[in-house]
Structure 1
Amino acid sequence: MTAGTLARLRVVGIADTDSYVKWAAALLASFDAGEWEVELLVLDTPVVVSDPQLRAALAGSGLERVSRVSYETLRERLAEKRPDAVLVAARGPLVRVVARLAAALVPRPVIVSGLPGISTPATRKALVYRTQCDLFVLHSRREVREFDALARSRGFSQRFALTRLPFAADRRAAGSHPARTGTDLVFAAQAIVPREREDRLRIARLLVRSAEAQPSRRVVLKLRASAGEHQTHAEHDALTELVESLGPVPPNLVFSTEPMSAALETAEGLVTVSSTAAIEAVARGIPVIALDTFGVSRRLINEVFVDSGLFGSEEDVVARRLRHPSSAWLRDNYFHDPADDDLTMLLGDLIARRREGRLAPKAPLARPGGRLRDAWERKLVLGDRDRTIGGAAAKVIGMPLRAVVRGLQRVRTLVRHRTGMIGAA
C-alpha cells in the first residue's frame, strides 16, 4: 500500500546535531504535504545544535513545525502526538537509545533511521546501532547495494529505502555545466577528515596559497560551527586557528558559518576531502575538486569518489582546475533516476501494516547486561541530560567496569603484539 491510499500519515523526526538536523528537516519537508503530516523535535543532548546552527540547518528546508525537547519529556511528547512513524536522525548510539524508547510506545510507531550524507563504505556499526529500526534510509544505488550485501553477510535483518539526498535540490543541473557567475572557491571543512594535526595544517597552508594566487577572488572556508558550538563529530585542531597561526590572513580568505546553500550561491567551485557538500555542489552543476593529497581510504571517507573524475591535487586547487563528475558515476552515486526512489512507498506500506495491527515487533540486538546495559548506554549519549535513577546507577557501576574492560583490552593487545614479535624472531 502506498502513502496516497491512506489518510494523512504522521511522521515525527528526532535529531540533535547539526548534520542530522539538516538532513531530517530536508527529508521531512520533501514529503508531499497533502499526504504527510511532519514535524521535527530537536532533542537536547550534550552536542545539540545551538540556535544559530539550528537556523542554518533549517535554511531552505521549508519545514515549519520544529521544537526543542528534553529526553525526560520525549516519551510523553511522542505519546501525545501518536505518530505513525518516528524518524530517528542521530548518531548510532543515540539511535539505539531513542529506538528503544519508541519501540515501547503502544501502539508502537514505525521506526526509521538513516545516514545524512556519504555512507560509503557500509559499516557494521551503522547496522548494529539501527537493528531495532524498521527502515534504513540511504541515498544512492551503490549505498543500498553495499549495505544490503553487508547485512546479508553478517546475518542482519534490515530493510533499506532509497531516496535522493533531500538537500541536493537542484538535481536537473547535475551532469550539466551551466554558466556561472560565482567567483568564490569554497572549501568545505570537516571535523575529523583529515584527523592528524599536520594534515590539517597542510590544508591551512593550501587555503592561504589559494588566496594569495588570486587576490581578486575569495577563498571561503565554510565552517560547520562557530567557536564553542558542537558538531556531529568533535573537532580538534580547528582550521581557523591553524590558518591564523600561519601569520596575517589574506584579506580574500574568509571564514563563513552561513548555510552551505548560501555559500554555493557565489561559488565558482567547491573543494573538499570528502564532505557531502560535494554532492550539493554537483546537484547545482558546480565543479568540484575532491582533494587526494592524503590518499584514498575508508578512514578519509573518500572512496566513493573513485572513478568520478573529481580527484585533484593541491596544485589543481591553487590553479582552480575544477572538474565535473562522469555520467556513469552520477547514476550510481546520488543522482539515480528519481523513479528508483522507494522511501515513501516502503514507509507507507509499513504504516498501513501498523494501522492494521500487522507491524511485527523488531527486537534490539541481544547484548549482555539487561536493563543496566540499557541505562549505561543512555547515560553515555545523554550525559548530564539523563537525570534518571537508572542513569546515575549505571554511571556508578559502569565507569569503573568500563575502565577494567578497557584495561583488559589493552593487555590483550599488548600480549598479542609481543607474541607476534616473538614468533617473528
Structure 2
Amino acid sequence: MSTASADTPERKGRFAGRRVLALGTFDSFVKTAAVIGRMFESEGASLKILALSASEGQLTTRQLEANGVFESVDVVAAETLVKSRLFRDAHVVIAVVDGGRARELFLALATADLSREPARPIVVVASPGVVLADHLAGFMSRAPADVLCFNTEGDRDLYRAAAAELGLDSTNALVTGLLGLDRRPWSPPVKKAIVFFEQPVIPAIRIQRTHLLASLIDLATRFPDTDVLIKLRHARDERAHHSARFHLEDLARELFARSRRPANLQFTHEPAQQLVDRASLVATVSSTIAVEAMARGAPTRIISDFGVSEALGTTYFVGSGCFATLRELTPEMGSAVEPVWLVARSGAAARPEPMLDQVEALLAGQDRLEAALPLRPLTPAYGSSDWMAFALGRGGPAAVHAPHLVEKPRRGLGMVAAVARRLRQVRRPAPRG
C-alpha cells in the first residue's frame, strides 16, 4: 500500500522514494546544486537544499531568489551535517562546493562510522561554473566523490592523467557539461541593451577596474539610445566566493564626481537569466554567464583590454572567436562564437544522463549489498598516507582542509616575538665605556 497521503500525489520515476540533499556554499554554488537536485526531483526524489558553512553572512535571501532558489536554506558545518540523521538518511548528496569545503566534507565522511549503516548517501560533486584556475588542486579536492562531474573532456583528461601518475582510481569521472546553465532560447529584445557582467576579482587591480568602468561610461555616452547595464556580482553588504576589493559602485562615485553620469547607464542586481533576455549584447571578462549566453544564442563578447591570461580566466575562451576590446563594443554586434568550440570545449552541452545513470547504478548496487558502500579513499588525492597521518596528528582536519588557518597562529606569535625582541634591543641601555 502507498504511504502517500490524499493531498500529496505519489511520486513516480526511477528515483521515487529517494531522498536527495543538495549542498552549496555561496549563491551560485547553491543555484547549481539546486538545478541538479531538481533533475532527481523530476524523476521522483524528494529534495532538501542546504549550504555548507564557509563564512559569516555567506548567503542572503536576495542572492538565493536571484538564482531561482526560493526555499529556506539552512547553513550548517560539514562535520555537524555528516553526523545528522538528515545526512545519513539521504540517498544522494549533491555537493557543489569550493575545494576547502569539499575536503572538509570528505574528511568528515572518513571520520564518521558509516560502516554500520545499512546504506550511505551517494556523493555527487559538480562545478558551479567554468573552471578558470587551480584546475588540478580543485579536481583532487573533489576526487573522493562517488561521481565526479566535469564540464569538458579536457578537464576530465587532465584529472585522469594526474590520477594515473598517483595511482588514483579515476573511474568516478564523468563529463556532464555545465549543468547549471539556463537552456532557454534567446530572442532579440525590442530595445537595444548592452549588459556587462562584472566579476569581483577579475580584474582585481584598482586601475584595471577603473578603466573598465570608465570605458563602460564612455560606451553609454557613445550610444545614448542603448541601455548599458552593469550586472554587479554582489552588493556591498553581501558575500560571494570571491568578494570585490574595489566595488564598482565605490569607483563610480569617484568617476561621477568628475563627470556626469549618463542617463542610460545603470547598475543592476536583476537575475542574470533575465538580463540575458534583455540583452542585445552580453559582455564580460570571463564569467560563466558568457557560456550560457553563447549557448542560448545571444551575441557575446569577451573583453580583451587586459590581454589573455590565466589570472583573468580569459584563456578559457581562446578559440571562441568572441574577443573584443571595450572600445569595439556596439549594440549592433552579432553572434561571433565558433560552433565547434561551443559544442566541444565550452561545457555548454549539458549531459546529465551519465550522472543520473551512474547514481542509479550505485544505489541499486548498495541495495543489493544491504550495507553501506565503501568510501573512496582520501589518499593519494589528498597526499600520501604518511603526510595525512602527520597533518591530522599535528593540526587535525583543518591541517588538511584549511592549512592556512593552522599556520596563522604560529605566524602571529612569531611576529609578536620578533617585535618583543626588537623592543628589548631598543630599550637596553648602551654599554658604558
Residue 92 of structure 2, aligned match among 85, 94, 106:
85
The correspondence for 2:243, drawn from 234, 250, 266, is 234
TM-superposed CA distance for 1:102, in Å, is 3.3
RMSD, aligned α-carbons: 3.2
The structural deviation recorded for 1:314 is 1.9
The equivalent position to 2:375 in structure 1, one of 361, 368, 372, is 361
Separation in 2, partners of 1:339, 1:123: 21
Q: For residue 68 of structure 1, what is the aligned residue in structure 2? A: 74
| Cα pair distance change 1:55/1:300, threshold 3 Å | same
Q: Residues 340 and 223 from structure 1, CA distance in 2 versus in 1: closer, same or farther, beyond 3 angstroms?
A: closer
Q: Paired residue for 2:38?
A: 29
1:349 is paired with a residue of what secondary structure? helix
Bigger RCO of structures 1 and 2 (CA < 8 A, at least 6 apart): 1
Does the CA-based 8 Å contact 1:38-1:65 persist in structure 2? Answer: no
CA distance in 1, matches of 2:363, 2:134: 27
List per-residue Cα deviations over 1:157-189 (Å, max 9, x = no partner): 33222224233232666xxxx544352211111
- Structure 1 residues 133 and 245, CA gap change in structure 2 (3 angstroms): same
Once residues 172 and 240 of structure 1 are traced to their aligned partners in structure 2, the CA distance between those partners, rounded to angstroms, is: 32
Q: Which letter maps to 1:55?
A: E
**For residues 95 and 318 of structure 1, what CA distance do their matches in structure 2 show?**
42
5+ long unaligned stretches in structure 1 = 382-393, 407-425
| Conserved 8 A contact 1:23-1:166 | yes
CA gap of 1:361–1:81, structure 2 versus 1, over 3 A, is closer
Superposition pairs of residues 405-416 of structure 1, within 5 angstroms: none
Cross-structure match for 2:59 = 49
Residue deviations 1:1-60 (CA, integer Å, cap 9, x gap)? xx976654332122121221121112212335234332211234315211211211225x
1:110-145 deviation per Cα after TM superposition (whole angstroms, max 9, x unaligned): 222222111256722112322322222122333333
Alignment of 1:11-410 (within 5 A): 11-31=20-40, 33-47=42-56, 48-58=58-68, 66-71=72-77, 73-79=80-86, 82-103=89-110, 104=112, 106=114, 107=117, 108-119=120-131, 123-158=135-170, 159-170=172-183, 179-247=188-256, 248-318=260-330, 321-334=333-346, 341-355=353-367, 356=369, 357=371, 359-364=373-378, 365=382, 366=385, 367=388, 368-370=390-392, 372-377=394-399, 398-401=407-410
Tell me by how many angstroms 1:94 deviates.
1.1
Query: For 1:308, what is the secondary structure of its paired residue?
Result: coil
Looking at structure 2, the residues matched to 198 and 80 of structure 1 have their Cα atoms a distance apart, in angstroms, of 47
Paired-residue identity, %: 24
- 1:102 touches 1:109 (CA, 8 Å); kept in 2? no
| Partner Cα separation in structure 2 for residue 378 and residue 156 of structure 1 | 18
**Hey, what's the Cα distance between the residues in 2 that align with 1:296 and 1:154?**
32
Residues 1:216 and 1:126: Cα distance change in structure 2 (over 3 Å): same
Q: Could you tell me which runs of 5 or more consecutive residues in structure 2 were left unpaired when the two chains were aligned.
A: 1-11, 416-433
Structure 1 SS opposite 2:280? strand
Q: Secondary structure at the match of 2:33?
A: helix
d(CA) in 2 for partners of 1:25, 1:68: 14
Greater mean deviation of Cα atoms: 328-337 or 305-314: 328-337
Deviates more, 1:317-326 or 1:43-52: 317-326
**Structure 1 residues 65, 305: closer, same or farther in 2, change over 3 A?**
same
The Cα of 1:205 is off from its aligned counterpart by 1.0
* Larger Cα-atom Rg: 2
2:209 aligned partner, one-letter code: R
Q: Which amino acid aligns with 2:100?
A: P
Give, as a single letter, the amino acid of the residue that structure 2 aligns with 1:255. Answer: F
Contact between 1:44 and 1:69, CA under 8 Å: does it hold in 2? yes
8 Å Cα contact 2:392-2:399 kept in structure 1: no
Q: Give the partner amino acid of 1:360.
A: P
**Distance change in 2, residues 1:244/1:149 (3 Å):** farther
Aligned length: 384
> What are the superposed Cα offsets for residues 324-367 of structure 1, whole Å, 9 maximum, x if unpaired?
31111122134676668511112222223333247332222242
Cα drift, residue 211 of structure 1: 0.8
Structure 1 residues 27 and 80, CA, compared in 2 at 3 Å: closer, same or farther? Answer: closer
SS of 1:369's partner is: helix
The residue type equivalent to 2:98 in the other structure is R
One-letter identity of the residue aligned with 1:161: L
Partners of 2:142 and 2:350 in 1: CA distance: 26
Comparing 85-94 with 271-280, greater Cα deviation is found at 85-94
Give the C-alpha shift of residue 277 in structure 1.
0.6
Q: Is the 8 A contact 1:270 1:278 kept in 2?
A: yes
Measured in 2, the distance between the counterparts of 1:23 and 1:152 equals 29
- Give the 3-state SS of the residue equivalent to 2:40 in structure 1: coil
- Aligned residue for 1:30, secondary structure, equals helix
Deviations, residues 42-86 of structure 1 (Å, cap 9, x unaligned): 234315211211211225xxxx76531432742354446611222
SS in 2 for 1:347: helix
Q: Is the 8 A contact 2:301 2:324 kept in 1?
A: yes
Please name the residue that 1:411 is paired with.
Answer: none
1:149 shift after superposition: 3.1
Distance 2:366 2:327 in 1: 56
Q: How big is the shift at 1:293?
A: 1.3
TM-score, normalization: structure 2? Answer: 0.79
